Amino acid sequence: MDRAEDRNAEAGGGRDTAGRGDVCWREWAVGGMDCASCALRIEGALKRLPGVSAITVAPLAGRMRLALDESLTAPAEVEQTLRRLGYVPEGETLRPRAHGGDHDHDHDHDHDHEAGTGEPWNRNAAVRLALFTGALVALATLAALVAPPSVAYWGFVLACLAGLVPVARRAWQAARAGQVFTIESLMTLAALGALAIGAAGEAAVVVFLFAVGEALEGVAARRARSGIRALSRLVPEVALVEEGGATREVAASLLQPGVFVLVRPGDRIPADGTIMEGSAGVDESLLTGESIPVPRGPGATVMAGTIATDAALRIRVSRPARDNTIARIIRLVEEAEESRAPVSRFIDRFSRLYMPAIVAVAALVMVAPPLAFAQDWDTWIYRGLALLLIGCPCALVISVPASMASALSSGARHGLLMKGGAVIEAAASLRHVAFDKTGTLTRGRPEVTDIVPLAAGTDEVLALAAAVEGASAHPLAAAIRARAEAGGIAVPQARAARAFPGHGVEAEIGGRQIGVLSPGAPRARAALADRAPVEALEDAGKTVVVVLADGVALGLIAMRDEPRADAAAAIARLKAMGLEPRMLTGDNARTAGAIAAPLGLDFRGGMLPADKLAAIAALDAQGGVMMVGDGINDAPALKQARVGVAMGSGSDVALETADAAILRDRVADVAALIRLSRAAMANVRQNVSLALGLKALFLVTSVLGITGLWIAVLADTGATVLVTLNALRLLAFDPARPG
């Protein structure tokens, strides 16, 4: 199963599994979700409803999406199930189920998915409960020192019950929804059991520590979300729109494509667009991490949220607010949470089996020694309750999602976008990195250096080539058109243009069939009697095209695209990381060699798209390969590779075609992306080891009677806190730093 199939399988594939016309995608913003345990609880409960399929729950986004057959289950019943579980459905949208493919991401709703993320920490319900329970435990402890034992005992009972009521309520709600074995149910059983055998003090401490753990989980979840949500605040609330020679303020959220806006020096740009007038240094640091303002002038694209530092700009809006670069980055990171890593899916399955097993073992510990060996009932019930508490899999369940969410957030802040944990896991284990040349290792802005006339004049060769390339988005085509425009060449009208992948483009002009072809194309080879001029230009590291008219070679056009400034250092860093980089390009071997040699890079030239696919498949079989391309003409290779990475300053293709995207157009960010992925997987291994190691240790000590109830819950809560804090370290991780 390839990556696309795997993602479809996990999300239900976007197919109408019920075969009904009334199956629709429904999406809710859900308040109260803090961690992966919440996602598992919601998924488990909703799967029991008839007509519900393809459930995806994203705690980072505070969003749930599912496919619903309304003839079997009404949306109100879904909302009621969420309320029974203790969550708050805050908003809902409807869209028809897409036929035969992926669902349509409709993000017209602009409500904030988060419940209370902006509230002060001490006004959060979980924090207030922890503080209240802690105060009662402290008072009961004080009473134990100065008052009769009965006063302290009932003080601890009160503290236990006060903190246990909301936990027990959630356990009951989950049980009604079909989720019997939950962390809340285990905690409720253990605390009530401790009260039953007279261990009120330890029961109160257990409940208090559990409340502290839940409060810390909530704080950590909001902290993980805040980095991404802060991006939405980069876009200004108002924009200066030009109308009839005057300007007026309008809400930036209302801007539509084609509108002209004026951005003053020091202002944030309110929308994605194209500069029509003015030149300025644009500060993109908060979006891409680029610390130095980037010069932008007429014709350059700019992104919403960036700052015009030193001059006014007149910009034509190219995208509505809901689809600007920042909005798409936020959506991509939130949706990436739904694409879970294989290790995360394994732990989910393991946890579902682990919880009932722990309950069974704890019950056996409680009854077997007293019944079989006449041991003391209170002692073994106590140990069984401790086993029940230490067996809570909370730390294990959140170990992977917490790391992945932090890595996705950290990557987005550094201009590295990855579509889920599966991409992170794959990128961390690669051995090969394959690069396209034009627009990837090179700047993607080649310039025409030579025009060699053969059977026509220089101007005619250039004019015909510019006409044929008129509709192409390829960087070489843009270079030819730019040279014709700069020379004031009149470009004729071309029609019936068609592309030949790997060979070039042809079109009809004035009754003649004009081609702009690679020298290696069969028709170009047949038309060139003398290949010496082509070879001389290619030896100089230039890309050559042949302009043909009805099979006659009219002339040659040579272009050169210089390597990116950071390419050589980036290739060296990849090698130092134990990776094997190489270049795969359609250019001839001599041109490819002229670019690859100073970079210290292995290469293969003269490759057709089918050749690239075969090469990618071979490399993938040798330990996994990442393909890095411009996201346009490299789409097949990007899909074939284990991880496809598109470069391209937030373009639609860069954000949507590949598995990951690099916003800053830096080759060095390829190494940064891999380094971040490796750091994330190392963090996952640390978390899993920590969670399982502490559990194994305290499971043994609890059964042997060395540790008691409050130590057991402290170990479980402590493991949860440590795992969460360890995952949050990734938020401060700088993937660009060597090391």
pLDDT in tens, 627-648: 998 755 677 788 889 999 988 6
User: For residues 76 and 672, what is the distance between their CA atoms, to the nearest angstrom?
Assistant: 46
Q: Which of 139-153, 291-305, 615-629 has the lowest mean pLDDT?
A: 291-305
pLDDT in tens, 178-191: 777 777 777 788 78
Q: In the chain, count of helices (H) and strands (E)?
A: 24, 26
Task: Specify whether 502 is located in the same domain as 436.
Answer: no
For the chain, helix, strand, coil in percent to 5 are: 50, 20, 30
Residue 267: inside a domain: yes
Average pLDDT over the chain, rounded to whole?
81
8 A C-beta contact, residue 286 and residue 305: yes
* Pairwise CA distance, residues 496 & 490, whole Å: 20
Name the residue with higher pLDDT: 78 or 170: 78
Q: Are residues 589 and 488 in the same domain?
A: no
Report yes or no: 558 and 448 within 8 Å, Cβ to Cβ. yes
In terms of residue numbers, what domain contains 585? 416-442+563-678
Boundary of a domain, candidates 658, 678, 698: 678
22 annotated active-site: no
- Residue whose token pair is 């990618």: 616
Catalytic residue among 16, 69, 283, 436: 436
Look at residues 188, 163, 170 and name the one whose alpha carbon lies nearest to residue 41: 170
Are 556 and 465 found together in one domain?
Answer: yes
* Number of domains comprising the chain: 4
- Phi, psi at residue 9, to the nearest 5°? -65, -40
User: Does residue 363 belong to any structural domain of this protein?
Assistant: no
Percentage of residues in the chain having pLDDT higher than 70: 82
Point out the least confidently predicted range of 35-44, 143-152, 341-350, 625-634.
341-350
Q: Both 567 and 550 in a single domain?
A: no
User: Is the CB of residue 645 less than 8 Å from the CB of residue 628?
Assistant: yes
Dist. CA 268–CA 325, nearest whole Å: 14
Average pLDDT over residues 475-499: 89
Q: What mean pLDDT comes out for the span 653-679?
A: 85
Q: Select from 540, 560, 580 the last residue of a domain.
A: 560
pLDDT score for 195: 84
55-92: pLDDT as tens digits: 888 776 677 888 889 889 988 889 888 888 878 887 65
Helix (H, G, I), strand (E, B) or coil at 101: coil
Give the pLDDT score at 673.
Answer: 96
Q: Are residues 494 and 599 in the same domain?
A: no
Residue 653 phi, psi (nearest 5): -65, -45
pLDDT at 64: 86
pLDDT-based confidence at residue 295 (cuts at 50, 70, 90) = confident
Reported in sequence order, the residue ranges of 336-403 that DSSP labels E, i.e. its strands, are none
pLDDT at 364: 92
Q: Express each pLDDT in 5-48 by its tens digit.
A: 343 333 333 334 344 446 788 888 887 776 666 777 788 788 88
The reported pLDDT for the residue numbered 353 is 76
For residue 52, give the nearest of 33, 76, 39, 70 by alpha carbon: 70
Asked, for residue 269, whether it belongs to a domain, the answer is yes
Find the mean pLDDT for residues 138-161: 89
Q: Phi first, then psi: what are they for 37, rounded to 5°? A: -60, -40
CA 576 vs. chain centroid, Å, equals: 26
Q: Band of the pLDDT at 220, cuts 50, 70, 90?
A: low
Q: State the DSSP H helix or E strand holding residue 466, giving kind and residue range, or none if neither.
A: helix 458-468
Q: Is 42 part of any domain?
A: yes
Highest mean pLDDT range out of 130-144, 324-338, 343-357, 696-710?
Answer: 130-144
Residues 433 and 455 in one domain: no
**Residue 274 domain-assigned?**
yes
Judge whether 71 lies within some domain.
yes
Q: What is the mean pLDDT of residues 425-439?
A: 91
Average pLDDT over residues 129-154: 88
Token pair of 46 as six digits = 């909703």
- Has residue 273 got a pLDDT over 80? yes
Residue 147 included in any domain = no
**529 and 632 fall within a common domain:** no
Contact 93, 123 (CB under 8 A): no
pLDDT at 1: 37
Asked if 535 and 578 sit in the same domain, the reply is no
| 567 closest CA partner among 479, 428, 660, 438 | 438
Q: Is the pLDDT of residue 621 over 70?
A: yes
Q: How far apart are the first and last CA of the chain?
A: 35
Q: 563: which DSSP letter?
A: B
In the predicted structure, residue 105 carries a pLDDT above the cut 60: no
Name 152's Cβ contacts closer than 8 Å, sequence gap at least 6: 140, 141, 143, 144, 201
Report pLDDT for 507: 93
For residues 415-432, average pLDDT: 89
Angle at 220 between CA 215 and CA 225, to 5 degrees: 130
Q: pLDDT tier at 244 (50, 70, 90 boundaries)?
A: confident
pLDDT(421) > 60:
yes
Structure tokens that stand for 653 in this block: 């293709």
Full 3-state SS string of 320-332: CHHHCHHHHHHHH
Closest C-alpha to 489, from 480, 499, 500, 498: 480
What is the reported pLDDT for 583?
Answer: 95
CATH number at residue 304: 2.70.150.10
Residue 665 φ then ψ, to 5°: 55, 35
One domain for residues 467 and 539: yes
Question: For the whole model, what pTM was predicted?
Answer: 0.66
At residue 100's C-alpha, the angle toward residues 94 and 106, to 5°, is 30
Judged on CB neighbours under 10 Å (0-12, 13-18, 19+), 631 is buried
Indicate if 429 and 451 belong to the same structural domain. no
Q: State yes or no: pLDDT of 408 exceeds 90.
A: no
Question: Per-residue confidence at 650, pLDDT binned at 50, 70, 90?
Answer: very low
Q: What band does 346 get if pLDDT is binned at 50, 70 and 90?
A: low
Confidence of residue 123 (pLDDT cuts 50, 70, 90): low
Report the pLDDT value the prediction gives residue 670, as an integer from 0 to 100: 95
Q: Is the pLDDT of residue 163 over 50?
A: yes
* pLDDT at site 275: 93
Residue type, 662: I
- The yes-or-no verdict on residue 613 having pLDDT over 80 is yes
Which tens digit of pLDDT belongs to each residue from 465-485? 999 998 776 778 888 999 999
If asked whether residues 420 and 495 sit together in one domain, one would say no
Q: Which is higher by pLDDT, 648 or 284?
A: 284
* 536 pLDDT above the threshold of 50: yes
Please check whether residues 515 and 651 belong to one and the same domain: no
Q: Which two tokens stand for residue 77?
A: 């019943």
The two tokens of residue 516 are 């702009």
Closest CA to 437 of 634, 580, 584: 584
Residues of the chain above pLDDT 90, percent: 26
683: amino acid identity, one letter: N
Q: Identify which of 86-95, 371-380, 712-721 has the greatest average pLDDT.
A: 371-380
Look at residue 368 and tell me if it is in a domain: no
Please tell me the predicted confidence (pLDDT) of residue 678: 96
Residue 348: the pLDDT is 60
SS3 316: strand
Which of 678, 696, 724 corresponds to the end of one domain?
678
Predicted confidence at residue 547, as pLDDT, reads: 96
Closest by CA to 408, choosing from 397, 424, 392, is 424
Instruction: Indicate whether 540 pLDDT > 50.
Output: yes
Domain CATH for 25:
3.30.70.100
